[in-house]
C-alpha cells in the first residue's frame, strides 16, 4: 500500500516544492496518541499537513531535531551522509513501516522459529553506546542496522522469556510469593519512576550513567548461589522429624547469607542513587546505602539484609551454640569484644529464607527495566535519527 498520504505530502512540499516551514510540531507523549503538524509557506498561502501515522511522525521528529546535540531547527539534509532528499528518505524508510505493513511482526515470527542470522556474540549494549557516542563504524552497530527488525524481535522474545522465568521463580522457588512480588514491585517502581521518561534516549542514557550493577554478573552469581544452596542441602543431615542438623546446616546457611548480602550491594546502591536528592558520592558502602534508604522513607528496602549477618560462619564475630540453638554475634576483638546481636536458629532460618526471596526479586526488577529501556531506545525516533543522520549509507547495503 505504500506510505501514508501525510508522509507523501511532507516529502513533496519540503523536498520537491522547496516550501519553507513556518511551524512544525510533534507530540510523542506516552499518555496520548502521537500526532504531528507542519505548516508550509507556499508564497501567498499557507499549507498545513497533519497526521498521526508512524512514518509521518518519524519524519517530523527527524526534521525538527531528534536529539539534544543539535540546535532547534530544520535538518539540513545536504549535510547528512545521504546528501540528498532521495537518499535520505530511502534510509529513513528502511526503518519505517508503511501503514498496514508490519515488518516487525514478520521478524518476530522468524525469531521465534530461529530463522535469523544474527551472531550470538553480538554486543548490543556496546553497539547502542557507540550510537550515543557517534561511533557509527562500530561493527556490532552495523549488524544491528543490517538486521534491525530481527534484533528488536529477539529482544522482545527475550523479554517474554524473562517474564516467564520470573513467574517460574515466584511459583517454584520463592518461600513467600506475596513477599517476592512486593519487592519486585518496590524496586521496579523506583527504577521506573526515574528512568521511564517521555524520551527513550534520555531514560536509557540516564540509567546507564547512573546504575553500576552488572545484570549479567548478578544473574550468574544468583545462579551460583542457588546451585550452591541445593548442593549444601543434599549434604545436610535431617532427623526423623525433618529437622536440619544444626552443626552442618547453620554454618553453611550463614555463609550463604553472606553471599546474598554481598550480591545485594550494587542493586541496593543503584536504587538509592536513583532516588531524588541522593548523595551519590556517599553511597559506596552498603551500610551507608541502608541508612540512606531508611532515612528517605524506604525502610522496607533498608531492611532487606542485616549488616550483623554480613560475614561468613567462621568469622570471629560469630559463636554458635548448638545445644541451645543460638547464634551470638560480636563486634571488636580480644578484651574489647562485645555482643551486638543474637539469633535463635529458627529466627535466623527465617531471615535466610527472607533474603532468598527479596534479593532475587530486586535483581529481576533490574533485568526487566533494563530490557525495556534497551528496546525502547532501539525502537525510538532518537536511535533512528542518529543512524540516518550520521551513518554511512553503505551500512544499509
Q: Any idea where the domains of the chain sit in the sequence? A: 1-101, 176-363
Q: Which residues contact 390 (CB under 8 A, 6 or more apart)?
A: 80, 81, 134, 136
Instruction: Indicate the SS3 state at residue 191.
Output: helix
Query: Tell me: the pLDDT tens digits for 133-163?
Result: 989 889 999 999 888 889 988 898 888 899 9
Lowest average pLDDT, out of 33-47, 131-145, 198-212, 369-383, goes to: 33-47
CA distance 236 to 349: 14
| CA 76/CA 108 separation, integer angstroms | 35
Mean pLDDT of 314-329: 83
* Band of residue 249 on the pLDDT scale cut at 50, 70, 90: confident
If you search the block for the grid coordinates 552488572, which residue do you land on? 214
Q: What is the pLDDT of residues 57-111, one digit of tens each?
A: 777 766 665 333 334 455 666 677 777 777 777 777 788 766 556 777 788 788 8
Distance separating alpha carbons of residues 299 and 228, to the nearest angstrom: 30
For the record, the C-alpha cell of 47 comes out as 499549507
pLDDT digits (tens, 9 = 90+) for 269-279: 999 999 988 99
Per-residue pLDDT at 156: 87
Rounded Cα distance between 242 and 179, Å, is 25
CA–CA dist 201, 379 (Å, integer): 10
Q: How many CB atoms lie within 10 A of CB 220?
A: 11
- Rounded to whole angstroms, the Cα distance separating 367 from 361 reads 10
Residue 244 DSSP code = B
Q: Who has greater pLDDT, 4 or 367?
A: 367
- pLDDT of the residue at 67: 31
pLDDT at 335: 77
Instruction: Check: CB of residue 394 under 8 Å from CB of residue 144.
Output: no
Are 200 and 380 contacting, i.e. CB atoms less than 8 angstroms apart? yes
SS3 category, 341: strand
From the DSSP assignment, how many helices (H) and strands (E) are in the chain? 15, 6
Task: Show the cell assigned to 251.
Answer: 554454618
Pick the closest to residue 118 from 155, 163, 162 (CA basis).
155
Residue 170 pLDDT: 95
Task: Write down the pLDDT at residue 116.
Answer: 81
Residue 185 predicted with pLDDT over 90 = yes
- Which residues share a beta bridge with 382? none
pLDDT (tens digit per residue) in 204-231: 999 999 999 999 999 999 999 999 888 8
Nine cell digits for residue 221: 552469581
What average pLDDT score do residues 359-372 get? 95
Q: Mean pLDDT throughout 367-381?
A: 91
Helix (H, G, I), strand (E, B) or coil at 140: helix
Q: Classify 25 as helix, strand or coil.
A: strand
Strand order in the sheet with 318-321: 318-321, 326-331, 338-344
pLDDT recorded at residue 229: 86
**pLDDT at position 109, please?**
83
**Average model confidence (pLDDT) across the chain:** 84
pLDDT at 72: 45
Q: Residue 70 has what pLDDT? A: 36
**213 touches 187 (CB < 8 A):** no
Cβ atoms 391, 81 nearer than 8 A: yes
* pLDDT tens digits, 348-364: 999 999 999 999 999 99
pLDDT of residue 204: 95
Mean pLDDT of 185-204: 93
Query: At 363, is the secondary structure helix, strand, or coil?
Result: helix
Task: Note the pLDDT of residue 29.
Answer: 55
Q: What is the pLDDT of residue 71?
A: 43
Strand order across the beta sheet in which 35-41 lies: 20-27, 35-41, 46-51
Amino acid at each position: 500500500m505504500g506510505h501514508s498520504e501525510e508522509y507523501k505530502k511532507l516529502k513533496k512540499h519540503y523536498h520537491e516544492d522547496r516550501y519553507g516551514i513556518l511551524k512544525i510540531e510533534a507530540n510523542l507523549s506516552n499518555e496520548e496518541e502521537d500526532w504531528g503538524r507542519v505548516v508550509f509557506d507556499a508564497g501567498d498561502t499557507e499549507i498545513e499537513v497533519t497526521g498521526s501515522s508512524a512514518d509521518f511522525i518519524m519524519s517530523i521528529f527527524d526534521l525538527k531535531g531528534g536529539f539534544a546535540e543539535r540546535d532547534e531547527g530544520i535538518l539540513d539534509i545536504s549535510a547528512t551522509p545521504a546528501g540528498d532528499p532521495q537518499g535520505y528518505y530511502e534510509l529513513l524508510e528502511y526503518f519505517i513501516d508503511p501503514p498496514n505493513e508490519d515488518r516487525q511482526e514478520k521478524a518476530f515470527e522468524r525469531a521465534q522459529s530461529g530463522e535469523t542470522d544474527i551472531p550470538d556474540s553480538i554486543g548490543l549494549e556496546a553497539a547502542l553506546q557507540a550510537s550515543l557516542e557517534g561511533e557509527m563504524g562500530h561493527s556490532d552497530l552495523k549488524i544491528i542496522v543490517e538486521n534491525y527488525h530481527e534484533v528488536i524481535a529477539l529482544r522482545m522474545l527475550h523479554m517474554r522469556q524473562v517474564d516467564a522465568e520470573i513467574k517460574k521463580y515466584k511459583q517454584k522457588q520463592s518461600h513467600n510469593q506475596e513477599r517476592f512480588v512486593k519487592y519486585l514491585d518496590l524496586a521496579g517502581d523506583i527504577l521506573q519512576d526515574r528512568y521511564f521518561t517521555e524520551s527513550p534516549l534520555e531514560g536509557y542514557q540516564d540509567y546507564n550513567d547512573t546504575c553500576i550493577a552488572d545484570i549479567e554478573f548478578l544473574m550468574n552469581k544468583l545462579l551460583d548461589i542457588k546451585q550452591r544452596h541445593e548442593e549444601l542441602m543434599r549434604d545436610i543431615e535431617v532427623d526423623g522429624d525433618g529437622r536440619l542438623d544444626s552443626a552442618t546446616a547453620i554454618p553453611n546457611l550463614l555463609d550463604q547469607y553472606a553471599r546474598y548480602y554481598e550480591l545485594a550491594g550494587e542493586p541496593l546502591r543503584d536504587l538509592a542513587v536513583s532516588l531524588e536528592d541522593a548523595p551519590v558520592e556517599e553511597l559506596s558502602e552498603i551500610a551507608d546505602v541502608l541508612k540512606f534508604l531508611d532515612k528517605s522513607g524506604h525502610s522496607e528496602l533498608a531492611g532487606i539484609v542485616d549488616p550483623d549477618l554480613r560475614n561468613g560462619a567462621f568469622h570471629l564475630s560469630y559463636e554458635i551454640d548448638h545445644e541451645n540453638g543460638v547464634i551470638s554475634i560480636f563486634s571488636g576483638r580480644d578484651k574489647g569484644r562485645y555482643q551486638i546481636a543474637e539469633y535463635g536458629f529458627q529466627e535466623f532460618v527465617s531471615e535466610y529464607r527472607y533474603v532468598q526471596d527479596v534479593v532475587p526479586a530486586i535483581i529481576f526488577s533490574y533485568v526487566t527495566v533494563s530490557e525495556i529501556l534497551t528496546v525502547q531506545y532501539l525502537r525510538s525516533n532518537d536511535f533512528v535519527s542518529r543512524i540516518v543522520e550520521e551513518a554511512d549509507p553503505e551500512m544499509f547495503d
